Homo-oligomer: A and B are copies of this chain.
Amino acid sequence: MSLLAIKSIKSLAPLLDRVLVQRVKAEARTAGGIFLPEASVKELNEAKVLAVGPGGLDKNGKTVAVSVQPGDKVLIPQYGGTGIKVGEEEYSIFRDYELLAKINE
């Protein structure tokens, strides 16, 4: 977990194909509407995209746009990513190709 002394997470602009996300914490409930105990909530692999990089480069040096946008909800893998802490809040940075799925609600 990297500690950052910045005033706002909005100061972070991911590089290349990186995607800055924050795990979803509020309103954790099962498909049936039942609220989950806090331990389960922590392990939810849903995250909200806060910022995306300009895209990585293909073998010819051309930029390839990332596949998600700020505001998207995504399914993130159980392991991996780089943890960041700003104040009391935790965030993660993933490479675009590590994100598993978009969550359309």
User: Which residue numbers of A lie inside 8 Å of B, CB to CB?
Assistant: 2-8, 11-16, 18, 20, 24, 27-32, 36, 40-41, 43-46, 53-54, 57-62, 64, 67-68, 74-75, 77-78, 82, 84, 86-87, 93, 97, 99-105
Q: Contact at A5–B18, with CB atoms within 8 Å?
A: no
Q: This chain: how many copies in the complex?
A: 7
Q: Contact at B11–A87, with CB atoms within 8 Å?
A: no
Q: Contact at A61–B61, with CB atoms within 8 Å?
A: no
Q: Contact at A105–B4, with CB atoms within 8 Å?
A: no
Residue of B nearest to A30 (CB): B87
**From A15, A27, A103, residue with most partner B Cβ within 10 Å:** A15
What are 18 A-B contacts with C-beta separation under 8 Å?
A2-B44, A3-B36, A4-B44, A4-B46, A4-B75, A5-B36, A5-B41, A7-B31, A12-B101, A13-B104, A14-B100, A14-B101, A15-B101, A15-B102, A30-B87, A58-B59, A58-B60, A93-B100
Q: Contact at B64–A20, with CB atoms within 8 Å?
A: no
CA–CA, A105 and B6, complex, Å: 8
